[in-house]
Amino acid sequence: MSELKYADIKVGDKATFSKTISEADIYNFAGVSGDFNPVHINEEFAKNGFFKTRIAHGFLCASFISTVLGTKLPGPNTIYLSQELQFKAPVKIADTLTAECEVIEKIDKKKILKLKTTVYNQTGVPVIEGTATVLKYEAS
């Protein structure tokens, strides 16, 4: 598969990535990030909390947006400039998430793209909504 060129990207283009959240994903993310908040890793603690069970880290789930941006749309050589996020619903172990990125604006002079970023669970409920701004680097 050849790399997507900035000129070929159009407003309205979309790409997705899906993954089911496992217990191992949560523990691995805690280890990498250092976020050992017991709401994520301790069921006994979490069952008495707001969600009554453990939930996945918000940034674990948001990282799927980065997967789309860096591998699919715009793809390799994408440089993240900013990301605005709103966490809308909890994510539990065994939830299947789909990150969707949709091009909403092109700034041709600088090869910058703005994308609507949404992560849905398996029932179609948005768990994260936001906007990303990226640069599609292309060597001259």
The residue ranges of every structural domain in the chain are 6-136
Read off the pTM.
0.93
Cα gap 42→45, rounded to integer Å: 5
Question: What mean pLDDT comes out for the span 24-46?
Answer: 96
pLDDT score recorded for residue 140: 65
Structure token pair of residue 139: 């060597």
Cα gap 64→129, rounded to integer Å: 12
Cα gap 38→24, rounded to integer Å: 15
Q: Rounded to whole angstroms, what are the CA distances from 42 to 19, 30, 53? A: 22, 12, 9
Digit-coded pLDDT (tens) for 60-114: 999 999 999 999 999 999 999 999 999 999 999 999 999 999 999 999 889 999 9
pLDDT score recorded for residue 54: 96
- Is the pLDDT at 2 greater than 80? The verdict is no
6-136 under CATH 3.40.50.720, yes or no = no
pLDDT score recorded for residue 70: 95
